[in-house]
Structure 1
């Protein structure tokens, strides 16, 4: 089974088993809702299944309590571990929306067919994402994810077609 990162436990909170989580998902309300299943990535590779008892926002992060973990001593070892969701628990996305894992690794070509490189990273600095394209023997190309630049995403072909606006290269 495949698992995908939805957050990282950065600390404990209080003495009643809550942990502070920095979420890495756009679906925090759903992922950390009462009764949802998450998996703790353990050092031995075998994920530990956890059920969310409750969660709440707290100073730019989330405080999460898991069923059966009622004491700080129960969750102390969870610190600095990733929280995962299984592939079958992933949400279907609307047309034109993609998970980062689907975009990273795609080949980038211009509308004229010129191969620019491969998407190696996605940045989320503000209003729109920026795709970082690794190019051979050149600096990375930063592509804003806007309609004027990204013309077509073809997951089946493993390609993204772009139109480079003046000043991008």
Structure 2
């Protein structure tokens, strides 16, 4: 998932809804309907960047449905299926100290409390119980293994230093 430095992915268009151009959206925001707080989207589909404006949206069952400006036909809406929904990071609300957006953690170098390098955070996965850091090896890592490390602040994740591009974990290198 390649991102521009000043934007982040907040969801994905999954399919059409009805015959009037509405779209089903899978939201990455928490809460799920938080995606409706952003009006100006950039859709990325098949390598193309498409500006879009959210006209209206609502919860529909377990999901979200939206209507974008200028899309009022099911066939036209269908062409947007699979598009990523991106917004400028400057539009995201500030988080309390010690909390981070996923895009802030992606790319950080990961070190053990003893200073051994595991690699870098490639992405995160939501499991239900807790989020998981997917850490991929780098040239400076102790080995070439990919590691799945639970994102548990104060238990496993001991330090996040965005300025130093560094994350420190209490994690056994053999695990």
Same topology, TM > 0.5: yes
The normalised TM-score by structure 2 is 0.80
SS at structure 2 position matched to 1:75: helix
Length-normalised TM-score, structure 1 = 0.83
In structure 2, the CA distance between the partners of 1:131 and 1:39, relative to structure 1 (3 Å rule), is same
Corresponding residue pairs, total: 166
Note the residue ranges of structure 2 that are not aligned, 5 or more in a row: none
**What residue in structure 2 maps to residue 150 of structure 1?**
157
SS at structure 1 position matched to 2:79: helix
Partner of 1:47, secondary structure, is strand
- What RMSD, in angstroms, separates the aligned Cα atoms of the two structures? 2.4
1:105-164 deviation line (CA, Å, top 9, x unaligned): 111112222222222221111221111222353422221111211111000001111112
Change (3 A) 1:32 1:141: same
Q: Distance in 2 between matches of 1:43 and 1:141?
A: 30
**Shift in alpha-carbon separation, 1:71–1:162, aligned structure 2, 3 A:** same
Aligned to 1:162: 169
